[in-house]
Chain A
Amino acid sequence: MINKILPYSVIIIFVIIFFIFYKSLEDSKIYTPDTYSKKDLPVFNTKDFFSGENVKSSSIFELDKIYLLNIWSSWCVPCRQEHSLLMNLSSDNKLNVIGMNYKDNLKNAQNFLKELGNPYKEIFIDLDGTTAIEWGAYGVPESFLIINNEIVKKYIGPLNQKLIDEINLLIE
């Protein structure tokens, strides 16, 4: 009995292994972060960009409102590219654009806003980059669409017109 089962089971196991490996050949080998799954907002303490006062995250984000949190920095070149798009977005009353100033020099950041305009309703500071990690961010620029205190979508890298259209569709 064992004589018969063994060769068959060996063949079956090899076929299964072959298919698993064959299937994983097609998977992307490049790490792609999960940008779709909904997540709750992180809780953190930070400082206000303009006044320098301590702020709690719960006082920035209110329920029933739609926010776009944008991580930016004056030293980040792609942030300059997406800035005009953020300016357009901020004119939409439905969407509140919030800024997180990432590892920046305050003076440079202020000059950046003076030069290109300020699309943000509120800005808070992340001096050592730890608040960005609370958000699960990778770097600058990065944007989070927040509806009802829940992160609905994450955009890694600079925004473009296609993504802006997508945001407009999502918040309708």
Chain B
Amino acid sequence: MKVLKFFLIIILFLPISSLDAEEYEKRNKITKNLRCLICQGQSIYDSDSEFANSLKILVDKKLSEGLSEDQIYEYFKSKYGEWILYDPGLNKNTYILWLLPLLIFLVGGAIIYKSFIVKK
């Protein structure tokens, strides 16, 4: 009976602890992708300012409310704008950033194709 109880306790604790770890990873990932707006150059994860600490508390709160990562980003974006995200999405201010490498790659490819492959 004792052995059974022991195993029951272990089984009960196992999923909870792994869930905690998952949550912790997720929290770290989110706070690393949020910019500390009053200590520029640092993420929320790195910073220990008043602002960053409050943001960390709020990220925890939102996670416990069951919000997904994207929903949390969306929430902070609605409060502070795109600037708070280190990984901005595609919009009218950032499209050049996303499309330029592709464009350069295509043009470069065309030049290489023309001058090396077609000539042969």
A31 and B40 contact, CB distance less than 8 A: yes
Quick one: closest A residue to B83, CB to CB? A31
CA distance A136 to B38 in the complex (A): 12
Q: Which of A6, A130, A139 contacts B110 (CB 8 A)?
A: A6
Residue of A17, A33, A129 contacting most chain B CB atoms (<10 Å): A129
If A6-B114, A9-B107, A139-B38 touch, whether A130 touches B79 (CB-CB below 8 Å) is: no
CA distance A2 to B80 in the complex (A): 48
CA distance A128 to B103 in the complex (A): 47
If A9-B107, A10-B107 touch, whether A129 touches B83 (CB-CB below 8 Å) is: no
Q: How many residues of A contact B (CB 8 A)?
A: 22
User: Is B100 among interface residues, defined by CB-CB distance under 8 A?
Assistant: yes
If A13-B103, A134-B79 touch, whether A129 touches B53 (CB-CB below 8 Å) is: yes
B111: chain A residues at CB < 8 Å are 6, 10
B83: chain A residues at CB < 8 Å are 31
Q: Which of B50, B61, B100, B103 contacts A103 (CB 8 A)?
A: B50
Interface residues of B in 46-93 (CB under 8 A from A): 50-51, 53-55, 57-58, 61, 79-81, 83
Quick one: closest B residue to A128, CB to CB? B57
Interface of B, secondary structure class, is helix
Number of residue pairs across A and B with beta carbons under 8 Å? 47
User: Is A165 among interface residues, defined by CB-CB distance under 8 A?
Assistant: no
Chain B residues proximal to chain A, CB less than 8 Å: 37-38, 40, 50-51, 53-55, 57-58, 61, 79-81, 83, 96, 100, 103, 107, 110-111, 114
User: Is A34 among interface residues, defined by CB-CB distance under 8 A?
Assistant: yes
A107-148 to B contact mask, C-beta < 8 Å, 1/0: 000000000000000000000111011111011000000000
B10 to chain A, nearest CB (A): 35
Quick one: closest B residue to A2, CB to CB? B114
Q: Which of A9, A13, A34, A133 contacts B81 (CB 8 A)?
A: A34
B107: chain A residues at CB < 8 Å are 9-10, 13
User: Is A20 among interface residues, defined by CB-CB distance under 8 A?
Assistant: yes
Q: A129-B57, A134-B79 are in contact. List 5 more A-B contacts (CB 8 A).
A: A6-B110, A6-B111, A20-B96, A128-B57, A138-B37
